[in-house]
Chains A and B, each alone.
Chain A
Amino acid sequence: MLKFLVPSFIKNIDKTLVLNYPFWYIVKLHYILYFTIIFWMISYGIGCLLPIDISSYNPENVTNTWTFVFAVLAIILFCVWMYYLTIYNNEDRFGKFTMWDDVKLLAVLLIGINLLMSFSYPMQIRVKSRLANSFSDAELAKQYNDLNLGHKYINSDLTNYQYCGYNIHDVVAPEQLAKDTDEFGQQRYVYDLSKYKNFLHFSPETIGHYDYSFSNFFFGFSELSPSSEFKHSFYSEYKIEQEYSLYKTDEQKLNAIKKYFDVLKLYRNSYSFIMGQNMVSASDYSYQPQDYLDNYNHYEKTCLTYFPNAFNLSANDKQAEMNYLPFEDATHNMVNIYQAKFSSIYLLKNSYLMFAFYFSFYVSILIILFRNNTWQHYIVSIVSFILLGIIIGLSSLIIGYHSENSFFSLALLTWIAIGAISIWYYFKNDKYRVVGAIASNLFYFSLPLMPLLFCLYLHETFDWLKCYADYNDPVASAQCEIIRMTYQDVIFWAQIGGISSFILIVMPFYKVFFAQQKALPREK
């Protein structure tokens, strides 16, 4: 296996295994472990070296290419591994085996496949960790606080002002502003005017942030649990208002504005693409903090005097304003850091672990079947599986009425028929029969999920553990909720029971059967 890359100690292990432990020699787990460690080190190194851009929307943007490269390398290694698993086959040579060998092989395959899948994990974890450590928890909280405190003094919607024909330095007559209408004759919507009456508070958990990254899309959003340090340092809405009320002098206000822009500058990289349309770019090149302060001082009075009834922002308006604000991008990137700090990594999420288990479990079962069959009959088995699905689907459509129920019923009948052939062949055992071999493969492959499918069948066809209740009837609703929860429990245990009984009961017996099958005389 890629011998030029293999050190002598691995070859020595090989030598010991080939002389003493044929199973471990065949499965070559030591090679997988060795290459995994090598790739983990490389992956970790890359994770350390990759440039971390805190203005990036997501760490996955940084790691995606390398994750793909590691995936390709893992697939190549997997193919080489499968090649060795195929050429060294104990039962092909009628060697000694135990009925637990396939269970052992399943365990090795589960470990091996997950290790191959894990090549890029250290890189992802390292990048996430580096992003998380861009700032301490207290620093990040302070950045949020600075934004919240400074925001009060910023005319965020400069474009809107400009749209109205005003300039930030213009002194707009309040009467004119009050009469100003848009093209539909409505009073112009000037967000900032509400600032003096309402207060916006930005928090990493309430801000509208949608992360469309691959991992979140498939494995769900993370639970966030900020550290006590962050919680302690982060100002609540009430605290911000308190602080704000203490800023009486221009110097204090100017200081708040400066701090506000200091935070924005940290995340400025992402602003390049909206240069010219954004307050920050304008502030950098056209307006100074003093301009904002002047503007603030001017309009504060105007607003409070002439717009006493300026609308109070509703939740939607708040959202709209937030999306319209100059520092929305900054907070977006800050949320990435916040998530990197406090969200659980997707690799540890239940949904990902479930995916990893089922994926590696079924790939392993397919490999075990391949090792126990001729490749021709293996292919025929897979094609038969697909064809049977199509035939059952079409048949249930032809039957028409309640086609879902017919599909389940037909599938169950087919499975029983296949199972009967397989069991008959299991005990007949005099010569190799192609039909028997294929039926056994299909039966074997479907067994782990049969308890689950059987529960679904009973649920869908016979309304087992199904309950409908009028929402106005709280007692009936509560009873239904109990039944629904029972059904969820049953589904969960059907999966656990199906897979564990498959591993502990079916696999050992079928190991003996598959080995015997290999030895059976053939027709040709």
Chain B
Amino acid sequence: MFVSYNEYLTEISNSLQHADYSLASRRMLDFLYDYNLDQHAEIKALSFDIRNRYLQQSQNQETDANSLQQLCEQWLQKVNQLPIPMDKESDLQHLVYHAEDLSKEYNSGSRHFKLHPVSLNIKLGELTAVVGENGNGKTTLLRLMAGELAPTSGKASYFGNKKNNWYETKGKIAYIPQRPDRWYGTLIDNLHFFCTIKGIVGTENEDHVNYILHRLGLYQFRNLKWTEISSGYRLRFELAKALMMRPRLLVLDEPLANLDINAQQLLLQDLKYLSQSSKHPMGVVLSSQQLHELERNCKNIVFIKQGKTIYSGEQQSFAADRTHNAFEVGGNFSIADLQNHLNTLGDIKIIDSGTVLIINTPLSVDSVQLLKVITAQNLPINYFRDISKSTRQLFQKDI
């Protein structure tokens, strides 16, 4: 998980080879931050310049790849001239949150809700996704984790401390609710303020705010006010604010809700990279309905259904002991057509989920086999996904 000095440079070089200036410029800044290259004014200025140029060009949709490439090569050249520092010992894998049989009961109006006991661990450098249907307790769990709600029963500890000093603990937790409170004054003043109250002052404050603003692509909006930016940018500024305090645990409630697909993927990628910072790694927990995006980026999944935790663990380990495989298929055909053609594969069960069909097959049938049969029958398929190891299956009504 931890990215070494050389790995960083290789990653940046690879991005440049694929002309992925978005990733390259972000990773340059991460590299700058992680390896304290702030004192190298030239490299710092060049990094910010590359990022700014990329953002400006991408907004105008007129990418001048040559000039960017030249700057990036210049950057690589300068960095390669620096002495290679010793890689630091990573904090990654340290436990930031541990919950044991944590439960919460409350009445909201006439509705009684109970989040059944849940146990989980959050580690530095890992992304954990909390998924489930609406109103099933995701936000409650996130608020419990963020120390916003007091549990009805169970124990929770933060950062390995047995007893919580809540003020100190919360100083290390950043919680971004689904609807953040509005900010007053200019965005940049707020960011400086949040930085200062955490003891990051003077030039370090300016550098840190600059880094985060450039890193998240917010630099050009810094002098605006909360009411002058869209909900997508509000979320990014909330994230910027959270990062100002260098949290050890970052909790985000439905951060992808107001983002387009590109922004969603970018945010998840950023969260993953930022959580793995060697300088200030953090554990990240987020809830969302964007299952596929989460599963691609998050190491752990917590699935909640009607207040009960159906699954809590590594995403890779999900459905390891499954009895069948499952696939989502979409196309211009009916269940009956499909059923007729797939009978040859053995015990097949097809469910119409509304927009796609879910095919449950024996474990012996994998995606290659299934696709072969479907394409052999010339069925007009336009969507296919293997969900055998996805919590998507848990959303099925009949499984």
A residues with CB within 8 A of B: 14, 18-22, 25, 87-88, 90-91, 93-96, 429-432, 515-516, 518-524
Also in contact, A519 and B193, with CB within 8 A (given A19-B201, A524-B106): no
Also in contact, A18 and B189, with CB within 8 A (given A25-B196, A518-B167): yes
A518 and B168 alpha carbons, distance in the complex (Å): 11
A370 and B144 alpha carbons, distance in the complex (Å): 26
Question: Across the interface, which residues of A come within 8 angstroms of B144, CB to CB?
Answer: 521
Question: Across the interface, which residues of A come within 8 angstroms of B199, CB to CB?
Answer: 96
In the complex, the answer to whether B149 meets A95 with C-beta atoms within 8 Å is no
Q: What are 24 A-B contacts defined by CB distance under 8 Å?
A: A14-B189, A20-B201, A21-B196, A22-B196, A22-B197, A25-B193, A25-B196, A88-B193, A93-B194, A93-B197, A94-B170, A95-B196, A96-B199, A431-B150, A515-B167, A519-B147, A521-B144, A521-B148, A521-B149, A521-B150, A522-B148, A522-B150, A523-B149, A524-B108
16 further contact pairs, Cβ within 8 A, besides A19-B202, A95-B171, A521-B148: A14-B189, A18-B189, A19-B205, A22-B193, A22-B196, A93-B194, A94-B170, A95-B196, A518-B167, A519-B147, A519-B167, A519-B170, A520-B150, A521-B166, A523-B149, A524-B106
Answer whether residue B383 sits at the interface, using C-beta atoms and an 8 A cutoff.
no
In the complex, the answer to whether A516 meets B167 with C-beta atoms within 8 Å is yes
In the complex, the answer to whether B206 meets A19 with C-beta atoms within 8 Å is yes
In the complex, the answer to whether A94 meets B167 with C-beta atoms within 8 Å is yes
Also in contact, A87 and B148, with CB within 8 A (given A19-B206, A20-B201, A516-B166): no
Question: Across the interface, which residues of B come within 8 angstroms of A515, CB to CB?
Answer: 167
A78 and B165 alpha carbons, distance in the complex (Å): 35
Question: Across the interface, which residues of A come within 8 angstroms of B245, CB to CB?
Answer: 93-94
A169 and B47 alpha carbons, distance in the complex (Å): 107
Answer whether residue B185 sits at the interface, using C-beta atoms and an 8 A cutoff.
yes
A524 and B143 alpha carbons, distance in the complex (Å): 10
Q: B166 is contacted by which of A21, A87, A95, A519 (Cβ under 8 Å)? A: A519
Closest B residue, CB atoms, query A518: B167
A114 to chain B, nearest CB (A): 27
A380 and B162 alpha carbons, distance in the complex (Å): 35
Question: Across the interface, which residues of B come within 8 angstroms of A430, CB to CB?
Answer: 150
In the complex, the answer to whether A523 meets B193 with C-beta atoms within 8 Å is no
A22 and B190 alpha carbons, distance in the complex (Å): 11
Closest B residue, CB atoms, query A512: B167
A523 and B149 alpha carbons, distance in the complex (Å): 6
In the complex, the answer to whether B192 meets A19 with C-beta atoms within 8 Å is yes
| Per-residue contact bits, chain B 267-302, to A (CB 8 Å; 1 contact, 0 not) | 000000000000000000000000000000000000
Closest B residue, CB atoms, query A430: B150
Closest A residue, CB atoms, query B146: A521
The listed residue with most B CB atoms (<10 A of its CB), out of A25, A519, A522, is A519
A516 and B166 alpha carbons, distance in the complex (Å): 7
A112 and B165 alpha carbons, distance in the complex (Å): 34
B residues with CB within 8 A of A: 106, 108, 144, 147-151, 165-167, 169-171, 184-185, 189, 192-194, 196-199, 201-202, 205-206, 245
In the complex, the answer to whether A96 meets B193 with C-beta atoms within 8 Å is no
In the complex, the answer to whether B196 meets A520 with C-beta atoms within 8 Å is no
Q: B193 is contacted by which of A18, A521, A524 (Cβ under 8 Å)? A: A18
Query: Mostly helix, strand, loop or mixed at chain B's interface?
Result: mixed
6 nearest CB pairs, A to B? A95-B197, A431-B150, A521-B150, A519-B166, A94-B171, A519-B167
Q: A521 is contacted by which of B147, B165, B171, B196 (Cβ under 8 Å)? A: B147
B276 to chain A, nearest CB (A): 24
A516 and B169 alpha carbons, distance in the complex (Å): 10
Question: Across the interface, which residues of A come within 8 angstroms of B166, CB to CB?
Answer: 429, 516, 519-521
B248 to chain A, nearest CB (A): 13
Also in contact, A523 and B106, with CB within 8 A (given A19-B192, A94-B167, A95-B198): yes
B282 to chain A, nearest CB (A): 16
Question: Across the interface, which residues of A come within 8 angstroms of B147, CB to CB?
Answer: 519, 521
Question: Across the interface, which residues of A come within 8 angstroms of B198, CB to CB?
Answer: 95-96
Question: Across the interface, which residues of A come within 8 angstroms of B189, CB to CB?
Answer: 14, 18
A429 and B185 alpha carbons, distance in the complex (Å): 34
A22 and B199 alpha carbons, distance in the complex (Å): 9
Closest B residue, CB atoms, query A89: B197
A253 and B396 alpha carbons, distance in the complex (Å): 121
In the complex, the answer to whether A522 meets B149 with C-beta atoms within 8 Å is yes
In the complex, the answer to whether B150 meets A523 with C-beta atoms within 8 Å is yes
A431 and B184 alpha carbons, distance in the complex (Å): 29
A87 and B148 alpha carbons, distance in the complex (Å): 20
Closest A residue, CB atoms, query B173: A94
Question: Across the interface, which residues of A come within 8 angstroms of B165, CB to CB?
Answer: 516
B240 to chain A, nearest CB (A): 14
Question: Across the interface, which residues of B come within 8 angstroms of A18, CB to CB?
Answer: 189, 192-193, 196
Closest A residue, CB atoms, query B200: A19
A79 to chain B, nearest CB (A): 14
In the complex, the answer to whether A432 meets B150 with C-beta atoms within 8 Å is yes
In the complex, the answer to whether A19 meets B196 with C-beta atoms within 8 Å is yes
A372 to chain B, nearest CB (A): 13
B114 to chain A, nearest CB (A): 14
B171 to chain A, nearest CB (A): 4
Closest A residue, CB atoms, query B209: A19
Question: Across the interface, which residues of A come within 8 angstroms of B196, CB to CB?
Answer: 18-22, 25, 95
In the complex, the answer to whether B185 meets A87 with C-beta atoms within 8 Å is yes
A19 to chain B, nearest CB (A): 5
Question: Across the interface, which residues of A come within 8 angstroms of B170, CB to CB?
Answer: 94, 519
A87 and B151 alpha carbons, distance in the complex (Å): 29
A32 and B235 alpha carbons, distance in the complex (Å): 34
Question: Across the interface, which residues of B come within 8 angstroms of A94, CB to CB?
Answer: 167, 170-171, 245
A22 and B206 alpha carbons, distance in the complex (Å): 14
A430 and B165 alpha carbons, distance in the complex (Å): 9
A431 and B166 alpha carbons, distance in the complex (Å): 9
B277 to chain A, nearest CB (A): 21
The listed residue with most B CB atoms (<10 A of its CB), out of A18, A518, A523, is A18
In the complex, the answer to whether B197 meets A96 with C-beta atoms within 8 Å is yes
A8 to chain B, nearest CB (A): 15
A177 to chain B, nearest CB (A): 85
A93 and B176 alpha carbons, distance in the complex (Å): 12
Question: Across the interface, which residues of B come within 8 angstroms of A520, CB to CB?
Answer: 150, 166
A89 to chain B, nearest CB (A): 9
A21 and B193 alpha carbons, distance in the complex (Å): 9
The listed residue with most A CB atoms (<10 A of its CB), out of B167, B197, B245, is B197
A87 and B166 alpha carbons, distance in the complex (Å): 22
A303 to chain B, nearest CB (A): 83
Question: Across the interface, which residues of A come within 8 angstroms of B197, CB to CB?
Answer: 22, 90, 93, 95-96
A518 and B170 alpha carbons, distance in the complex (Å): 10
B84 to chain A, nearest CB (A): 33
